[in-house]
Homo-oligomer: A and B are copies of this chain.
Amino acid sequence: MYIFTEQELRQHISLNHEALSVVEDGFSSLAEKKAVMPPIMRVDVHDHNGEVDVKTAYIKGKDKFAIKVSSGFFNNYQLGLPSGSGLMMLVSATTGVPEALLLDNGYLTDVRTAAAGAIASKYMAKEDIHTVSVIGCGSQARYQVKALQLVRNFKRVIVYGRSPDRVAAYVKEMTEELGVEVQAAESAKEAVIQSDLVITTTPASEPVIKAEWLHPGLHITAMGSDAEHKQEIEADVLAKADVLVCDTVAQCERLGELHHALSQGVISETRSITEIGELTSRKVAGRQNDEQITVCDLTGTGVQDTAIALFAFQEMVNRGLGLKIENKKPALKN
Could you tell me which A residues sit within 8 Å of B by CB distance? 1, 3, 5-7, 36, 38-39, 41-45, 47-48, 50-52, 54, 56-58, 60, 65, 67, 69, 71-73, 76-77, 79-87, 89, 91, 93-98, 101, 103, 105, 137-139, 166, 169, 323, 325-327, 329, 331-332, 334
Contact = CB atoms under 8 A, between A and B. Distances in A.
Nearest to A51: B96
Contact of A72 (B47, B80, B96): B96
A77 to B, nearest CB: 6
Which residue, of A7, A71, A93, A329, has the highest number of chain B Cβ atoms within 10 A? A329
A67 B52 contact: yes
Given A38-B43, A43-B38, A97-B71, A82 B329 contact: yes
Nearest to A332: B82
Copies of this chain, whole number: 2
A6 B327 CA distance: 7
A186 to B, nearest CB: 20
Nearest to A37: B43
Nearest to A48: B94
A89 B67 CA distance: 12
Contacts of A327: 5-7, 103, 105
A5 B96 contact: no
A5 B325 contact: yes
A3 B4 CA distance: 13
Contacts of A329: 6, 81-82, 85, 105
A230 B16 CA distance: 46
A146 B326 CA distance: 29
Contacts of A58: 43-45
B73 A98 contact: no
A71 B166 CA distance: 44
Contacts of A5: 325-327
A330 B5 CA distance: 12
Nearest to A104: B327
